[in-house]
Structure 1
Amino acid sequence: MRAGRTTPVPVHLPDGAAAHVHVELEDGTRRLLSQSDDWTPARTVDGVLTGRATFLLPADLPLGWHRLVAEIGQSAVRPAFTDEASLAVTPDRLELPASLGRRGWGVMAQLYSVRSRSSWGIGDADDLAELVSFLGDQGADFLLINPLHAAEPAGEMTPSPYLPVTRRFVNPIYIRPEAIPEVARLSGPRRSLVQWAHEEVAASNESTEPIDRDAAWKAKREALEVVFAAGRPRSRQRSFERFRAEQGEGLERFALWCALTEKHGPLKDWPETLKDASSAFVANEARSLSERIDFYAWLQWVVDEQLGRAQAEAKASGMSLGVMDDLAVGVHAYGADVWSNPEAFATGIKVGAPPDMYNQLGQNWSQPPWSPVRLAHSAYAPLRDMVRTVLRHAGALRVDHVIGLFRLWWIPEGMGASEGAYVRYDHEAMVGVLLLEAQRAGAVIIGEDLGTVEPWARDYLASRGVLGTSVLWFEKQGDGWPLQPGAYRHLALSTVNTHDLPPTAGYLADEHVALRERLGLLTEPVEQVRAEARVERERMMTRLREHGLLEDDPSERQVVEALHRYVVRTPSALVGVALVDGVGERRTQNQPGTDLEYPNWKMPLADGSGEAVLVEDLPDNVRLASLLAAVREELGR
């Protein structure tokens, strides 16, 4: 139910039996519910004449997870009994925090791509802390990063942050080993082992070749094994134990899955006896792998601490929101979530998207969907636990493909992406759970509502205080011309581009057309697609001149800045600047519709001349400074 609204609850019971219903609140207190008139006629159900009594949940119930208890008196057909249900009292809507003011702005970055000279070949939590510190000094309110969800702990690591093995826990590849307090206590030989592991990958920090996650994780894992084996002081051990107890069975099952994957390889290759997480065979394996389970639980504690420090640094530097996490739409079919809780997922189904102008063949994301029936039966526990954990150290959350809370494009196995169908979810419950956990965390929610989204769904999300997503190149009038700034939504995060398009410098050069042509993704003649792209670009340049943002014969940098000024002139509550646009990068991070055909999610941050850009370089990057200054000027800051 939504807080502030009196909500009726029907109770079905043998006709003529008495009923009393109360709520057991989280704090242990009880509230007896009043009964309202209900003249619904009794009907026979399974041979029993069954009536209905209606009770009223009062509007002043506090937000939270409560229990609803019905005590049914004795009847002619059944002795007295008690029934229970979960009750989630959710916010009617989320309000933007007062610290944000009327509007806010921030930067968007793929964390793995943003490295420093001390990184291990991939951006990590320490780089995140340095980045938010710099951006906070620039006046930014947030930093939106890619999903940090966990990937495979052994073997080849899936590059895509949107195809994790679980959405609840974090990829330990984002740990900075030297930042673990116990490293300072290591003996000389043990510390040398950590340093040697770092030296294996340190040189790659300044390379612009695709990031090698497997090499980075191999080196980090070697170092982390040394630190873990050295032990912890008593106070630190107690802190680890408290974290473990707080995360409960979810963490234990995830750590067990990691240990089993390390021993047996990918889930699809496991012995059949181990594919049932609740089997006695798995319990036996857990006993023999207890030390490895401890290690993988410890990794989660360590990365949680480091991400907590990054968010603390963001807030200390003046950011009103700080880190904005990203929530992927689903998980890997052979991942920890599916193994740990298979009942929550639909079998024989994958999730994707129908064809659209940018992905004309449709998309199959190879992820199994949650079963809407099982979610309801579990009181949405998988959704609740996931959101609660993701929001531990974030001031905002971007929900990828937010329409997935309403309906998902289900594709039966063996069929093409264009042959799927929409299956609907209880969006009132899904959004309610999301808002309840966000309210408790003090976080803002942004829904990625691009693509095929019914207008009523956007209106519904806005009514609940969930921001939408507007990308300049996608926002058009009915005649195909760019939408005027004043016509943008207020409750939105508006940006020039997105990670599924080339950086703006590349987009202006038609890289989105050239790349799709090279990869064979076009279903229309390339000349036609190029002509459409040219018209789109020329119309946008005309709009910029209409608003006095562009002179004749502008440079690439001037066009990029003019586009961002245009977006800032919208009424959108949040405005985002892609870090790649700030440094002049041209390479695409992700090309939808591809897997191995393109090095998706592997491009390190670089400038337009192909030189690596490190965290230490950002304060002196003239092009970035100019773009951020343009954004602040338009905002009047």
Structure 2
Amino acid sequence: MYGDIQVASEETKAALLAAMGLEDAPDRPETVLPRWHVCEPGEPVGLVPAGAWQLTREDGSQTEGRGALPELPLGRHRLESGGERCWLLCAPARLPLPRKLWGLMAPLACLRSETEGGIGSYEDLARLAEGLGPTGAAFLGINPIHAGFLTNPEGFSPYTPSHRRRVAPLYLPTAARAETPGPVLILPEELPARLAALEEEFRAAPPGPGFDEYLRHEGASLHRFATHQALSEKFGAFWDSWPAAYHDPDSPEVAQAAHDLADRVRFHAWLQYSAEGALSETQRRAQAAGLELGLYLDLAVGTHPHGAETWEDRESFAFGASLGAPPDAFAPQGQNWHLAPFNPVHLIDTGFAALAATLRQQLRFSGALRIDHILGFERAYWVPDGDLPGAYVTMPREACWRWRAWRRRGPAR
């Protein structure tokens, strides 16, 4: 099969369309406006609506008119005309190549200090960065630190996260120690001890006013995530095994549970507050020590199909198919990674909001970002559930790359 063109079967194509929610959808009517359009800041937009239009910029300001559109600033803007909508993604076509820099990659879990022992922490990471700074290094890279499954430590993997827009509290420094520290990390022993120590810290003193401000800023999204974490303690790690009434985060049953479990919800929100604060402080210390970029983070290619991210934002993902890789010499049978892919139909409909939020969150804490399997911005290999072979799904490449350029706002790395 190597070197030969492979044509996806009708069954595979039907299954992948169904995963995108298009199995019973009528053909979309043709529109005058494209669904998305890319342009560059300070240059003509290159799109002229036929009639009156309304433009809403990313900052919320609006302009109405006819004919040619005004030049646009960097960002994601919404154009409406004749009952149609087009997302305008304004970013440089190319970013300048960076000068060559060097740094160190280290798996955070294995940065085991003599003072804490057990799994590595954000404090251990900061200390390593401070030691690395005087050497002339520009960055310190680590594995993904997305929120994982606190109630399923046996299945922990940084590349199979529960939520990529939330941070792993697993690496918060605590007074917890492994009872029998050794060369092998045993997460089913480590994680409960660390969580117990963190909860003791949470109970010992009320969080300061910064926590309340954080809750207001993060709003409903954080509340949903923290509610998911509390429900996971009650029903298990994966929402597809919960009672059906709790599958929908907007259900009355979930609202009642959030009320009944308010203390647990607040605790898990505090864990996020603490983890984000620790990671921000680590980045500050890394750059203060002389690392030009500071932290070099890693974005997992997908998310667990039944974790917090898909529970909170179901429509952004395709169900009934998983990310994977086609057959090759390494894996002649192909690979199924059991990760939920972004649904390109919904991404376009929402102006790539989920992708933008994911990139934005990672870049809050880093000077450089590795995007795992970035080929997926152009095409992603999906494997349908069942026994069907997989196929490539074309992604809106130019939009994904422009979005990355806009959120990076600096040399591509």
Q: Common fold, TM-score beyond 0.5?
A: yes
Counterpart pick for 2:118 among 117, 121, 139:
121
Measure the CA separation in 2 of the matches of 1:340 and 1:28. Answer: 25
Contact kept? 1:172, 1:300, Cα under 8 Å: yes
Measure the CA separation in 2 of the matches of 1:289 and 1:123. Answer: 30
Secondary structure of the residue that 1:160 maps to in structure 2? coil
- Matched with 2:90 is 89
* Structure 1 residues 347 and 124, CA gap change in structure 2 (3 angstroms): same
- Matched with 2:217 is 246
Measure the CA separation in 1 of the matches of 2:358 and 2:377. Answer: 14
* Structure 1 residues 260 and 445, CA gap change in structure 2 (3 angstroms): farther
1:445 deviates by 4.3
Equivalent residue letter for 2:171: Y
Consecutive unaligned residues in structure 2, runs of 5 or more: 1-37
Contact kept? 1:118, 1:202, Cα under 8 Å: no
- Matched with 1:3 is 40
Encode CA deviations 1:297-331: one digit per residue, 9 max, x unaligned: 11011011111111111111111111000000001
1:355 deviates by 2.4
- Matched with 1:232 is 206
1:407 deviates by 1.1
* Structure 1 residues 438 and 376, CA gap change in structure 2 (3 angstroms): same
Consecutive unaligned residues in structure 1, runs of 5 or more: 13-18, 36-55, 73-81, 178-194, 447-637
| Residue correspondences, number | 374
Measure the CA separation in 2 of the matches of 1:86 and 1:285. Answer: 37
TM-score (ref. length: structure 1): 0.56
TM-score (ref. length: structure 2): 0.84
Contact kept? 1:151, 1:158, Cα under 8 Å: no
- Matched with 2:285 is 313
- Matched with 1:384 is 356
- Percent identity, please: 38
Measure the CA separation in 1 of the matches of 2:297 and 2:154. Answer: 21
Which runs of structure 2 are paired with 1:67-146 in the superposition (5 Å)?
67-70=78-81, 86-95=87-96, 102-146=99-143
Secondary structure of the residue that 2:109 maps to in structure 1? helix
Which runs of structure 2 are paired with 1:10-21 in the superposition (5 Å)?
11=49, 19-21=51-53
Measure the CA separation in 1 of the matches of 2:97 and 2:365. Answer: 18
Contact kept? 2:159, 2:300, Cα under 8 Å: yes
* Structure 1 residues 426 and 169, CA gap change in structure 2 (3 angstroms): same
Measure the CA separation in 2 of the matches of 1:445 and 1:247. Answer: 28
Measure the CA separation in 1 of the matches of 2:227 and 2:412. Answer: 32
Q: Does 1:344 align with 2:381?
A: no
1:264 deviates by 0.8
Encode CA deviations 1:341-383: one digit per residue, 9 max, x unaligned: 2112222111101123333332210112111101111211111
Measure the CA separation in 1 of the matches of 2:329 and 2:128. Answer: 35
1:96 deviates by 5.1
* Structure 1 residues 316 and 375, CA gap change in structure 2 (3 angstroms): same
Q: Does 1:401 align with 2:373?
A: yes
Please tell me whether Structure 1 or Structure 2 has the larger radius of gyration of its CA atoms: 1
Measure the CA separation in 1 of the matches of 2:134 and 2:387. Answer: 51
Contact kept? 2:97, 2:412, Cα under 8 Å: no
Contact kept? 2:39, 2:88, Cα under 8 Å: no
1:84 deviates by 5.3
* Structure 1 residues 294 and 166, CA gap change in structure 2 (3 angstroms): same
Contact kept? 1:162, 1:329, Cα under 8 Å: yes
1:246 deviates by 2.5
Contact kept? 1:399, 1:445, Cα under 8 Å: no
Equivalent residue letter for 2:348: A
Q: Does 1:57 align with 2:69?
A: yes
Secondary structure of the residue that 2:160 maps to in structure 1? coil
Measure the CA separation in 1 of the matches of 2:124 and 2:330. Answer: 33
1:170 deviates by 1.1
Q: CA RMSD in A?
A: 2.1
Secondary structure of the residue that 1:243 maps to in structure 2? helix
Measure the CA separation in 2 of the matches of 1:87 and 1:247. Answer: 26
Equivalent residue letter for 2:52: H
Equivalent residue letter for 2:395: Y
- Matched with 2:392 is 422
Secondary structure of the residue that 1:351 maps to in structure 2? strand
Secondary structure of the residue that 2:161 maps to in structure 1? coil
